[in-house]
C-alpha cells in the first residue's frame, strides 16, 4: 500500500504552513476540507482545477503538515489536521481561516 509522508506534530514548521496557505487554490482546498471533513483527491473544488494541479497543491499541504492523505483502494482521501495544528500552533489555523472567510467570503 502506498504511503504519504507527513511531518509529526512537533516537526510542523510555521513558515511551511504559512507558505502553503499563501496560495489561493490551497487556501480554498483547506476551507473546503474544513467544511467537508474528508474529500477524495481530484474531486476537490468541484473539478474546477485539473487533477495534476490538485495533486501538486495537495502534496504541498500534506508536506507542510496541514493535511493528511489516506489511501483506500484506487482513491486517496485528504483531511485537514486541525487537532495537530491546534496542538502545535494554538488558535492560529482558526484565526487564519476565519479571516480568510470574512475577507473573501465563503468558498
pLDDT at residue number 107: 44
What is the per-residue pLDDT for 101?
Answer: 63
pTM of the predicted protein model: 0.88
What pLDDT score was predicted for residue 47?
Answer: 75
Residue carrying C-alpha cell 483506500: 72
Backbone CA torsion sign across 31, 36, 37, 39:
negative
DSSP state of 24: H
CATH number for the domain whose boundaries are 9-100:
1.10.10.10
pLDDT tens for the 107 residues of the chain, in order:
688 889 999 999 999 999 999 999 999 999 999 999 999 987 888 778 888 888 899 999 999 999 999 999 889 999 999 999 999 999 999 998 887 765 555 44
Amino acid at each position: 500500500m502506498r504511503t504519504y509522508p507527513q511531518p509529526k506534530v512537533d516537526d510542523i514548521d510555521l513558515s511551511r504552513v504559512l507558505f502553503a496557505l499563501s496560495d489561493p487554490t490551497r487556501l480554498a482546498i483547506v476551507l473546503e476540507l474544513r467544511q467537508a471533513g474528508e474529500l477524495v483527491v481530484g474531486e476537490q473544488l468541484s473539478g474546477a482545477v485539473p487533477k495534476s494541479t490538485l495533486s501538486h497543491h495537495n502534496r504541498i499541504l500534506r508536506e507542510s503538515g496541514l493535511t493528511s492523505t489516506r489511501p483506500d483502494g484506487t482513491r486517496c482521501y485528504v483531511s485537514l489536521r486541525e487537532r495537530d495544528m491546534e496542538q502545535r500552533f494554538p488558535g492560529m489555523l482558526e484565526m487564519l481561516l476565519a479571516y480568510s472567510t470574512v475577507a473573501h467570503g465563503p468558498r
